[in-house]
Structure 1
Amino acid sequence: MQELYARRSKGRPEALAEKVYQTIKNDIFDFRLMPGDRFSESEMAERMDVSRTPVRQALFWLEREGYVEVWFRSGWQVRQFDFEYFEELYDLRIVLECEAVRRLCAMPAGRASDLLSELKRFWMDDLRLQDGKAVSLHDEAFHMAIVAAAGNSEMAHIHAELTEKIRIIRRLDFTREDRIEATYNEHARILQAVSQQQSEEAQLILTAHISVSKAEVRKITLHRLQQARLQPDSPT
């Protein structure tokens, strides 16, 4: 890995900063860097065997996304989890996605079904993925596609930004087999209701689907944080 960093640092500083960014972000997502952990740019640069410049750039990107915050004269800190903030984002998801479903159901007969045909082939197939990370990516794509299909680009843009903000906890919803199974079943029911232009039914299923996910990821996140705190070592 050090050789890779060295090669990139010679001619592609942006690529090196991107690599540092992804590494730190993964450490945060996997709780190797815990909420509240503090570190300096020099410490991070030494650990990754790079200069401080790409580390600083990566940290500013992460700050804009809300994962870290700068403490002047004392380095950086991983932001504490604010579950109220995340739950508000989940509530906003419900508003945006229910509106998207309402618009899809109001389209001429068969139009919404055609727009969502690829989603139906994946989520209504008898062959189901079991890998949580893969299902998580497909889940994000499903919900983003629902909003995009409604035809409002600004709504889709806001939804995409929201999706990025909740990814740190949302992906944990796919660490259990029962949650993966529930996701397949509920997505199939949403798609079926939309295809049949059953707007109220589709919105009810979607609202329940997101609400349960919101509650589950809170429980799973708290459990993962507790487990991580029992680990003796940290990356810094």
Structure 2
Amino acid sequence: MTGNNAGQTRPANVAERIYQQLKTDIFDFQLLPGDRFSESEIAKRMNASRTPVREALYRLERDGFVQVYFRSGWQVRPFDFQYFEELYDVRTLMETAAVRRLCGLEDPAAHLQELTNHWCVTPDKRLSDSDQVAELDENFHFQLVALAGNKEMALLHRSVCERLRIIRRLDFTQHGRIAATYEEHRHILALIGQRHGDAVVAELSGHIESSKNTVRAITLQRIQEAKSRYNLNIRV
């Protein structure tokens, strides 16, 4: 690689590093909901110029993790559980509509082979890393909607799920949730394959509701722990 090429890639690499570190800090509640900070503070902490810091922050804003106040810096987006409840409602509507459509296919099981290969496995072949399972779980729901064949709904569904990602990833830090998710997904796939529309809608709705309740409880617990650790008074 030439010197010029190295110089061209360095700012993007720095911005990516800052983005990943800040996102990790938000997910781990090192940066708390409602915390405010300036670009200069982040630049000093990350030992970087303000240009890659600003690029990383605007990317985090697009992802829904922070918000900008043009006269007073940046803020970690406060948790608004009503907002997340509404996103979960929209997600449930789209996914249940998708599985009903899948059940209407002549041979739905033929369309589900890739998902079956991932989820209908013996316990010794299941993944155990929570981050890997969180990603695989998200892709499970993406594919269910995509396989229903409505491209616009698939795009909208992906957007909703990405806004939920900050709390959904906590689901698999709870003991037993990985095993339960494998079993629930296996059952959902079986019901679709058998074209049991009403049953799969009920199963999928319960699966999403269970995840929602779990992540709400964990999020509240994590915030309370962080408040105690840092002796901060934040509103949840």
Would you say same fold, with TM above 0.5? yes
Q: 2:64 aligns with which of 44, 66, 76?
A: 66
User: In the alignment, does 2:7 pair up with 1:10?
Assistant: yes
Deviation at 1:71, TM superposition (A): 2.3
User: Distance between the aligned counterparts of 2:68 and 2:142, measured in 1?
Assistant: 31
CA distance in 1, matches of 2:19, 2:30: 14
CA-CA distance at 1:231 after TM superposition: 2.6
Residue 90 in structure 1 maps to residue 88 in structure 2: yes
| Number of residues of Structure 1 aligned to a counterpart in Structure 2 | 226
What is the 5 A alignment of 1:129-140? 129-140=127-138
Alignment RMSD (CA, Å): 1.9
If the length of structure 1 is used for normalisation, what is the TM-score?
0.90
Q: Which moved more, 1:86-95 or 1:54-63?
A: 54-63
Of all paired residues, the percent bearing the same amino acid is 52
Q: Which residue of 2 aligns with 1:182?
A: 180
Specify which of 114, 117, 131 is matched with residue 113 of structure 2: 117
Assess, with a 3 A threshold, how the Cα gap between structure 1 residues 233 and 58 changes in structure 2: closer, same or farther: farther
Deviations 1:11-55 (A, max 9, x none): 223333232222211211111110111111011011111100111
TM-score with structure 2 length normalisation? 0.90
Give runs of aligned pairs for residues 1-236 of structure 1, distance below 5 A: 10-12=7-9, 13-108=11-106, 110=107, 112-126=108-122, 127-232=125-230
Contact 1:9 1:16 in 2 (8 A): no
Q: Which runs of 5+ in 2 are unaligned?
A: none
Equivalent position of 1:4 in the other structure: none
User: Cα 1:9–1:59, aligned 2, differ >3 Å: closer, same or farther?
Assistant: farther
How far residue 233 of structure 1 moved from its aligned partner, in angstroms, is: 9.7
Counterpart amino acid of residue 170 in structure 2: L
- Per-residue CA shift, 1:171-191, capped at 9, x if unaligned? 111012311121111101100
Could you tell which deviates more after superposition, 89-98 or 16-25?
Answer: 16-25
Secondary structure, aligned partner of 1:231: helix
Please give the alpha-carbon distance, in whole angstroms, between the structure 1 residues aligned to 2:118 and 2:24. Answer: 28
Moved over 3 A (4+): none
Amino acid at match of 2:184: E
Check conservation: 1:36, 1:77, Cα contact below 8 A: yes
Q: Distance in 2 between matches of 1:63 and 1:171?
A: 18
In structure 1, distance between residues paired with 2:8 and 2:117: 43
**Greater alpha carbon shift after TM alignment, 57-66 vs 77-86:** 57-66
Taking the aligned partners of 1:47 and 1:9, their CA distance within structure 2 comes to 24
Work out whether residues 132 and 174 of structure 1, in 8 Å CA contact, stay in contact via their aligned partners in 2: yes
Per the TM alignment, residue 73 of structure 1 is displaced from its structure 2 partner at its CA by: 2.9
